[in-house]
Amino acid sequence: MLIELSIGNHQKDLCSFKSITISFEDIAEIITCCKAYSPIIFNRNKRLALNFKYAQLCILDFDGSITLDDAKETFKDYQAFIVTTKSHQKAFKNDIKIEKKDRYRVIIPFDQPIYDINEYTTVMKNIVNKFNSDSACTDGARFFYPNPYQKLWVSKGRKLFEIKKYLNVSPKKGNTLELMNNEKADKSNNGDNIINLPILAKDGRKMKSKEWVKVLSIKETITVHCPNPSHADIHPSAFITKKNSDVLFIHCHVCGFLGTHLTKNFHKQEIHHEKI
pLDDT of residue 234: 63
pLDDT of residue 20: 93
pLDDT of residue 90: 87
Region for 95 from its dihedrals, namely left if φ exceeds 0, alpha if ψ lies in -120 to 50, beta otherwise: left
Residue 208: phi and psi, rounded to 5, are -135, 155
- What's the order of all strands across the beta sheet hosting 238-242? 177-180, 206-215, 194-201, 258-262, 247-252, 238-242, 221-224
- Measure the CA–CA gap between 26 and 3, rounded to whole angstroms: 10
Q: Return the CA Rg of the chain.
A: 19
Per DSSP, what are the bridge partners of residue 23? 2
- Measure the CA–CA gap between 106 and 221, rounded to whole angstroms: 20
- Measure the CA–CA gap between 125 and 239, rounded to whole angstroms: 10
Q: Per residue of the chain (276 residues), give pLDDT as tens.
A: 888 889 987 666 778 999 999 999 899 888 999 999 999 999 999 998 889 999 999 999 999 889 999 999 999 999 999 999 999 988 887 778 888 999 999 999 999 999 999 899 999 999 999 999 998 899 899 999 999 999 999 999 999 999 999 987 654 443 333 333 334 434 333 333 334 555 655 556 665 555 544 444 434 566 777 777 777 666 667 777 765 555 677 777 777 777 776 554 433 322 222 222
Domain ranges of the chain: 2-167, 177-268
